[in-house]
Amino acid sequence: MLKKITVVGGGNVGATCSQLLALKELAQEVILVDVVEGVPQGKGLDQWESAPIEGFDSRVKGANDYESSAGSEIFIVTAGIARKPGMSRDDLLKTNAGIIRSVSSEIKRVAPKSIIIMVTNPLDVMAQVALETTGFPRERVIGMAGVLDTARYRSFIALELNVSIEDIQSLVLGGHGDTMVPLASYTSVSGIPLAQLMKQDRIDALVDRARKGGGEIVALLKTGSAYYAPAAAAVQMAEAIAKNKRRILPCAAWLQGEYGMKDLFLGVPVLLGEKGMERIVEVELSASEKAALAASAQAVRTTVAELKALG
């Protein structure tokens, strides 16, 4: 158990993260930070009052500043405006970049040795903003992307085949958005290749649904975006770090030559341990998968260029 984990942003994703962190007892203290007075304090108190029922001892506290977060080992950053119907992740760009610069500066000030798990969209670009603002080594700034995307892909496969989610293994690479790259060739059900259980047209349909998974939920909710699965994904990453589980999970990492790419965040298999990203795992890709990954990388670079053009 760590001493302290901070969640930045007290909205639906952030509040769900803090509750899950406490339920799993990943830290002695879970700090929920938000700029709106009373919101993190109220949600933190409400969550702590569930402790006698749920049986956890992690103390959940809310705050409007970062003084309570001093010395936190991990920050899960969810702060920012949410997607609305018809809004692309790139529409969030300018506003959220300003928020993340401010948040990152505060993190560097109060916890210069911490690890950042970025959740705010557009995720790959916001992770780069955090990396550049803090000056942290790449091992300590990681984006939550592939864990969520892979979970969505696996959940759709389980529904299609009517089998347990526990038996489905898969991998989704690339940017967190419509250009993500679900790898059907690395997808299996209890070790059985997916292609032996499902026709190609159905695999293609599920890949397409996974790519549009976030938008599907936005369209259904009408006044918000997904938060249960994103929070669960971020907390799974935090758990791998807090417990030094050395799990290999698909995360947005700052590439420095891996997969033939450099100086961008992109979803790739990452070994997560107590130091954060301990290494990037390079897997063999088919020609079409390489092309799809390159297209996804270009989409991320385009968004980065757009942000720089905005100043």
Which residues belong to the active site? 176
Q: How far apart are CA 209 and CA 59, in angstroms?
A: 39
| Residue 257: burial class (beta carbons within 10 Å; 0-12, 13-18, 19+) | exposed
Q: How far apart are CA 183 and CA 164, in angstroms?
A: 20
| Residue 308: burial class (beta carbons within 10 Å; 0-12, 13-18, 19+) | exposed
In 3D space, the residue among 160, 162, 114 whose CA is nearest the CA of residue 6 turns out to be 114
71: left (phi over 0), alpha (psi -120 to 50) or beta: left
| Residue 57: burial class (beta carbons within 10 Å; 0-12, 13-18, 19+) | exposed
Q: How far apart are CA 63 and CA 108, in angstroms?
A: 17
Q: 192-193 and 188-189 as β-strands: parallel, antiparallel, unpaired?
A: antiparallel
Q: Which two tokens stand for residue 278?
A: 């301990």
Q: How far apart are CA 131 and CA 223, in angstroms?
A: 31
